[in-house]
Amino acid sequence: MPEISREEVAHLATLARIDLSDAELDHLAPQLSVILESVASITGVAGDDVPPTSHAIPLTNVFREDVVVPGLTAEEALSGAPAVEDQRFSVPRILGEEA
């Protein structure tokens, strides 16, 4: 069982720039040991015949095929615009009068 000592917790807290009190160190050391034990137990679950995977079930590509279709003409794209100028959307200036 992996054990983490109070001194190791204090060292990690120093590296992380976390100021822990003596009571917090005493409280965290056993909790971190339990976490390390839980993580270490995972190595014993899978046998040599089980390949490592990132997902429990295989993933498949769900994207559709890329199909080229004609786009909108300028007139079609601008047909619902409230204001048009030189075949472009016309919007109010939000900056000053500078160009």
Could you list the pLDDT tens digit for every one of the 99 residues in the chain? 568 899 999 999 999 999 999 999 999 999 999 998 888 887 777 677 777 778 888 888 878 888 999 999 999 999 999 999 998 999 888 876 665
At residue 44, the pLDDT reads 73
Which residues touch 20 (CB under 8 Å, ≥6 apart)? 9, 10, 13, 28
CATH code for the part of the protein at 6-44:
1.10.20
Cβ 25 vs Cβ 6: under 8 Å: yes
CA distance 68 to 62: 19
Cβ 29 vs Cβ 6: under 8 Å: yes
CA distance 56 to 62: 17
Structure tokens at 69: 């279709």
Say how many C-beta atoms besides its own lie within 10 A of residue 37's C-beta: 13
Domain definitions of the chain by residue range: 6-44
At residue 69, the pLDDT reads 93
